[in-house]
Chain A
Amino acid sequence: DTGVSQNPRHKITKRGQNVTFRCDPISEHNRLYWYRQTLGQGPEFLTYFQNEAQLEKSRLLSDRFSAERPKGSFSTLEIQRTEQGDSAMYLCASSFGTGLYGYTFGSGTRLTVV
């Protein structure tokens, strides 16, 4: 297992377009998280899944954002009608259980909305 994999690594899109990112967690991990990080800031929680169930969503996650984790494996994060304020690094992380041994983060997808 090579860790948490995210793709694409970079995405440039025009304002108003829809984008989708994918995250493949560590296979033994049952929890998967999405975070957003802007320059100079710490990651901000967006949502998390335990297996296929989405257990919590941040108030940051507007109705333009949707995340899925079919069959409790990989996850997708879709942003509809992108805005310039959506430009950020989108990080995926996974953990086994409650993350006692830490969360493993992927390399992220950097989104630029022009």
Chain B
Amino acid sequence: GQQVMQIPQYQHVQEGEDFTTYCNSSTTLSNIQWYKQRPGGHPVFLIQLVKSGEVKKQKRLTFQFGEAKKNSSLHITATQTTDVGTYFCADTGTASKLTFGTGTRLQVTL
């Protein structure tokens, strides 16, 4: 079956440093969605990417979809303590049920 892997598994940065998580699939992705889950919380939708090579920005967050639609990335510029959490990518698949990646846990310290 499909495997969606994310690297790194964990990253610890100092506030102000940049952060990137990479999402790689063993099969072609349909659409990719990104979610953030705070410690003890539930996944919260951030964005959906649909087109090959698409780039979207939300303030300090930049999302990219690979040309071959087999990978995606999320980059955070100048991290803040409020960015702490686990970031998941998820493939919507053909039936629109999400297949989540393994997640990247981000820790930010002052």
* B95 pairs with A55, CB closer than 8 A: yes
A101 close to B48 (CB less than 8 A): yes
- Tell me if A98 and B96 are in contact (CB < 8 A): yes
Residue-wise, chain B 77-106 has the 8 Å CB interface mask toward A (1 for contact) of 000000000001010100111111111000
The answer to whether A43 touches B96, judged by C-beta atoms less than 8 angstroms apart, is no
Task: Determine, out of A17-25, A71-79, A102-110, the stretch whose residues face the partner at the interface.
Answer: A102-110
Interface set of B (CB-CB < 8 Å, partner A)? 33, 41-48, 88, 90, 92, 95-103
Contacts of A31-74 to chain B: CB distance below 8 A = 31, 33, 35, 40-45, 48, 55-56
Select from chain B the residue with minimum beta-carbon distance to A92. Answer: B42
A residues near B92, Cβ cutoff 8 Å:
98-99
| Chain B contacts for A42, CB-based, 8 A | 88, 90, 100-103
